[in-house]
Structures are given as structure tokens and as C-alpha cells.
Chains A and B, each alone.
Chain A
């Protein structure tokens, strides 16, 4: 793993891209890393494009700027591909992870010739199967961990289970579904 891994998230307001970035910071923190998780705020409204960022490192992080040359880009909403150059500045040795039902070939036409790895994860299908609802951010989080290898699968799943048990203490029936969503997405992305 590089000294500092930088990740950029693209989503739309209300889809949980910011939450996913903060969750990733959380889980990486729990495995002993130095982390940053921060959103870029524009006029806040449902459906507007939003960007969020992560830095994850073994040593303290002092940089407080946005990320222009990320190692990984995560696209939670594929409709953004038409209006945003999501792979701009993306490290060719890194990867872009896109939530889509389309084929890799179709998606690649929208990636401005990006030479690095492209992962397609159907987060909606996974979420519907595991939870019966479309919550794309958990599957995208798992896919990001799988692709970036910022932590081991077992470590990630154990930490996420602990945090779901805390978060859903009053509705434990949803824990299994959430864990299933993570496991399916982890499989889909490797």
C-alpha cells in the first residue's frame, strides 16, 4: 500500500456518498490508520452532484486541500458520467469503481480514455437482494475496500459488523441484510 491512499467520491445529494466517505474513514480509523473524510460543499440540495474525499495513511496527514490526483474514484450515481469527467487526474495505476447496470464496455466510452482499471458494481441489485431497498452506499463502500485493499476483507467485515450492531441496536433484524450487502459487493468487485 502507498503511504497515503487518496479517494474521491462522486454522488448526488441524498444518496449517501458523503456518508460512505465518512464510513470509510471510520472503518480505516478502527484498523489503526490516520484518516481524513470530508465533503466538498456547494449549494446543498437533493440530487445535486456532490464530491467527497478520503485520505488514508499509516502516518499523520497534514494536507487540507481537496484531492485532484486520486488513487481511486468511486461513482455512486452513473448519471454523473455524462456531466462530470470522473476520472480527471485519476492515477492510471489506480481504479474507478462505478455503480451501474451497464457493461464495462458501455461505461468505458464515458471515461475519457482512462487507462487504469474499471470496476462495475451493480449496487442497486445487491442492495435490493440483501435489504429489499436501494441503498447504494454500503455496497459501494465494500467494493472500494475490496479494490483499494486498504484493509483485509475479514478485518473490514468484522469492523462493519461491530458498527452495525451499535448503529442498529434497536433494529437488529437489518444487520444481517447489511452484512450480506457488503459481502456480495466485496465479491462483485474482485
Chain B
């Protein structure tokens, strides 16, 4: 029987770490990191797990030490957030290109400046090209479930890539919600013992990690990384199927909510999807309008064909980004979804909204307005603002 609990998102991830009992966790356990290393340090101090915790002097060192531990053959993890991740930047690429199956618990928060500590996807979206698999969550339940699934995905021989398991800062990381925990023995069995194939501490197979690659080799390395990311697709689905067998909870690249007959669709990542679901229920119950939602779970690799197929029958689409990329056009999700639709010759009207930057709240009534706009656009085929900020204070606004 699953264990009924109520935990914050940070507590849920720390609990999953306790159940997995990884070999090594280097972390910088103060701001801008999360409470996750702090809770794990407690488990270690209480003798509940035997993970080697390495106190490092910065996030750059946290990722460096995680890379070292993983290359040596350990199951290695770390946790961070926001500017902490920005300081890991150089090492994120090193982890991915060395094909190290590291799992990173990331709490998505805004990057400076102005200084802000709240929910925002700028940190992980900026790292979307670093070669990491990225998995996002709507709720505490999902971040817990994703974290457990990350190990068999990362460590699969077809993949061998690091995975970042993302959740929205404060909204889920500090919010307490109901959660169903999987029993310890089942989690241990699900992730299994880590058996690295090639590792530095294997004295029967001498190897080097992270050498210089001249132009004659560099490009093949990148192609191999790409292949791993392609292969990750099937592995992610296989792991999700095994997870569903264990828990009954179904996961895929994305969740389709009321999409079967939807005419107007929102595509979104993270905790705001839950708020959108409430808006959908209300709209369908009061007006009968066919509104639906696609909630992206896996952003890297990007499920291009599947998204295009899921959107093939809709009249208009709002893609919603919780980060800017200052293209002066789309946000990161907006660009990907539009490209996917173009490839599939889907000519439904698409708008791209920016919302929730730096923790700006988004409400059920905001989503209702989004669906109103989508209906209007589908009727008139006139898109007045292809890129728009939602919830922005105007010069006339009385709100401060």
C-alpha cells in the first residue's frame, strides 16, 4: 500500500533521495540552493542513509564534485536552484558530454536581476541546450514520481545522460500538498543497484574522462550525444510504463487534459497547469466550450511529433512561457511548439504568452481570458498580439 502523506515539494524530493540512498551528494546547502540538501544532511546525520555528503564552497564545485563522483563510478546527485544553477553552467555541459548519469533536483526560480527568488523557468530554460534531459512537474506528487524515474532513465545504456528534475520554486517546493509515497523496498527495486559499465575506479579497465577532443573527434561526440537524446525517448516511455505498473500513475512526454475533443488548447509547463485545469473544468461546466490543455513533462528531448499530433485537431493554441529568451519573438516553449506544428503542416493560429515571471501569480480567471482570446482568434483569424505578457501591471493600474 502506498503511504498517504503531506509534504512540500522539497521534502518530497529529499524523501525520494532517502529511499534511493545514492552514493554521493555534493551540494552547496545554503541560498541559492534549496532545503533539499539540508533535509538529506539530516537523514545522513541520523544514520538513515549512508550517502557521502560533500560540503563544497560553491555550486560550480558542487557540479564538479558530482561529475567526479559519477565518473568514478558512483551514483551521484546534487540539488540547486536559480543563480546556483547559473554558477554550474560550465559544468552542466561537461556532465552531459561525458555521458554521466547524474540526477539533479532543480527548483525553478528566477535569475537576477532584479534580484528575485520566486518561481520562473529561466534557470532551466537557459540550460536547455546543455545536453541534459529535462523533466518538469505540476505537483509535489509529480516531482517525487519524476525523481524516482530519473535514475533508470539516466543510467540506461542507451541513454547515459544527466537528468534534471524540475519543480516550481515556492509554489510546489515550499507548498505542502497531499502525496502518495511509494514503499521503500519498491523504490529500491525500481531504481535497482547502479552498475556502471565504464568508470575511473575500475582498475581492470584504464580510462580517461574529459580529455581534449580535436576537431576530428568533437563533432562525432556531439552526434553521439544527440543519439543518446533520441534514444532517451523510448527509455522515458519504458520507465514510465514500469512506474505505472508499480503505482498506477501514468506518465508520458506530456499530459493531455480534456484534449480529446478540444478546439482551443493551452500548452504549458509546471505548476500553473493545475490552475489551468481548474479553469477548464469551470469553462466546460458553465459554457460547454471545448477547451483543453497539454502539460509538457519532458522538454528535453522535445516530443515534437507527438505534440504536433496532439494539436492536430484544434482551432487555436496558446503556448505559455514562464521565461523570456529575449528573441523579441517567442519564448522557448513557444518556439518549439510552433516549429513542431509547422513541420506537421498544422496551420492553427498560435499565440505565445509570457506569464509568471519572477513569481507573478497566474489565476483561474487569467486562464479563462486566455481561452476567450483563443475563441476570438479562431473565429476571426486575427491575431493582434502574437506575443503577449499576461498579468503585467499597466501604467494605469492601481495595484502595486
Q: Are B174 and A65 in contact (CB under 8 A)?
A: no
Measured CB to CB, the nearest residue on chain B to A4 is B278
- Given the known A-B contacts A29-B6, A41-B117, A41-B118, are A65 and B178 also in contact in the complex, defined by CB atoms under 8 Å? no
A36 to chain B, nearest CB (A): 6
Using Cβ atoms and an 8 Å threshold, which residues of chain B touch A26?
6, 176
How many A residues face the partner with a CB closer than 8 A? 19
Q: Are B178 and A62 in contact (CB under 8 A)?
A: no
Using Cβ atoms and an 8 Å threshold, which residues of chain B touch A38?
170-171, 174-176
In-complex Cβ contact of A63 among B6, B172, B174, B275 (8 A):
B275
In-complex Cβ contact of A36 among B118, B175, B272, B359 (8 A):
B175
In-complex Cβ contact of B362 among A37, A61, A65 (8 A):
A65
Q: Are B176 and A64 in contact (CB under 8 A)?
A: no
* Per-residue A-contact encoding for B331-343, CB less than 8 Å = 1, 0 else: 0000000000000
Using Cβ atoms and an 8 Å threshold, which residues of chain A touch B192?
none
* Per-residue B-contact encoding for A51-65, CB less than 8 Å = 1, 0 else: 000000000111111
Q: Are A63 and B176 in contact (CB under 8 A)?
A: no
A25 within 8 Å of B (CB atoms): yes
Q: Are B118 and A65 in contact (CB under 8 A)?
A: no
Q: Are B275 and A60 in contact (CB under 8 A)?
A: no
> Which residues A19-41 have CB closer than 8 A to chain B?
22, 25-26, 29, 34-39, 41
B184 within 8 Å of A (CB atoms): no
In-complex Cβ contact of A39 among B117, B174, B363 (8 A):
B174
Measured CB to CB, the nearest residue on chain B to A54 is B176
Using Cβ atoms and an 8 Å threshold, which residues of chain A touch B359?
41
B90 within 8 Å of A (CB atoms): no
Using Cβ atoms and an 8 Å threshold, which residues of chain A touch B235?
none
What are 21 A-B interface contacts by the 8 Å CB criterion? A25-B6, A26-B176, A29-B178, A35-B6, A36-B175, A36-B177, A37-B175, A38-B170, A38-B175, A39-B170, A41-B174, A61-B177, A62-B139, A62-B274, A63-B274, A63-B275, A63-B278, A64-B139, A64-B272, A64-B274, A65-B361
B277 within 8 Å of A (CB atoms): yes
Measured CB to CB, the nearest residue on chain B to A64 is B271
Q: Are A60 and B175 in contact (CB under 8 A)?
A: no
Using Cβ atoms and an 8 Å threshold, which residues of chain A touch B171?
38, 64
A15 within 8 Å of B (CB atoms): no
B364 within 8 Å of A (CB atoms): yes
Q: Are B6 and A65 in contact (CB under 8 A)?
A: no
A26 to chain B, nearest CB (A): 7
Known: A35-B177, A38-B174. 11 other contacts (CB 8 A): A22-B176, A34-B178, A35-B6, A37-B176, A41-B170, A62-B138, A64-B168, A64-B271, A65-B275, A65-B363, A66-B361
In the complex, A65 Cα to B171 Cα: how many Å? 8
Using Cβ atoms and an 8 Å threshold, which residues of chain B touch A22?
176
Chain A residues close to B by CB (< 8 Å): 22, 25-26, 29, 34-39, 41, 60-66, 68
In-complex Cβ contact of B275 among A29, A37, A62 (8 A):
A62
- Given the known A-B contacts A63-B274, A65-B364, are A25 and B174 also in contact in the complex, defined by CB atoms under 8 Å? no
Using Cβ atoms and an 8 Å threshold, which residues of chain B touch A61?
177
Count class of interface residues, chain B: 20 to 34
Q: Are A35 and B176 in contact (CB under 8 A)?
A: yes
Q: Are A60 and B176 in contact (CB under 8 A)?
A: no
B356 to chain A, nearest CB (A): 10
* Per-residue A-contact encoding for B317-333, CB less than 8 Å = 1, 0 else: 00000000000000000
Q: Are B277 and A62 in contact (CB under 8 A)?
A: yes
Q: Are B278 and A36 in contact (CB under 8 A)?
A: no
Q: Are B178 and A60 in contact (CB under 8 A)?
A: yes
Using Cβ atoms and an 8 Å threshold, which residues of chain B touch A37?
175-176
In the complex, A36 Cα to B172 Cα: how many Å? 10
Using Cβ atoms and an 8 Å threshold, which residues of chain A touch B176?
22, 25-26, 35-38
In the complex, A41 Cα to B168 Cα: how many Å? 13
In the complex, A37 Cα to B170 Cα: how many Å? 11
In the complex, A41 Cα to B363 Cα: how many Å? 17
Using Cβ atoms and an 8 Å threshold, which residues of chain B touch A63?
274-275, 278, 364
Measured CB to CB, the nearest residue on chain A to B363 is A65
In the complex, A131 Cα to B178 Cα: how many Å? 32
Using Cβ atoms and an 8 Å threshold, which residues of chain A touch B139?
62, 64
Q: Are A68 and B278 in contact (CB under 8 A)?
A: no
Smallest CB-CB A-B distances: 4 pairs: A62-B274, A38-B175, A64-B271, A29-B6
Using Cβ atoms and an 8 Å threshold, which residues of chain A touch B118?
41
In the complex, A63 Cα to B171 Cα: how many Å? 10
- Most chain B CB within 10 A, of A35, A37, A38, A65, is at A65
B109 to chain A, nearest CB (A): 10
Using Cβ atoms and an 8 Å threshold, which residues of chain B touch A36?
175-177
Q: Are A68 and B170 in contact (CB under 8 A)?
A: no
B12 to chain A, nearest CB (A): 14
* Per-residue A-contact encoding for B149-178, CB less than 8 Å = 1, 0 else: 000000000000000000010111011111
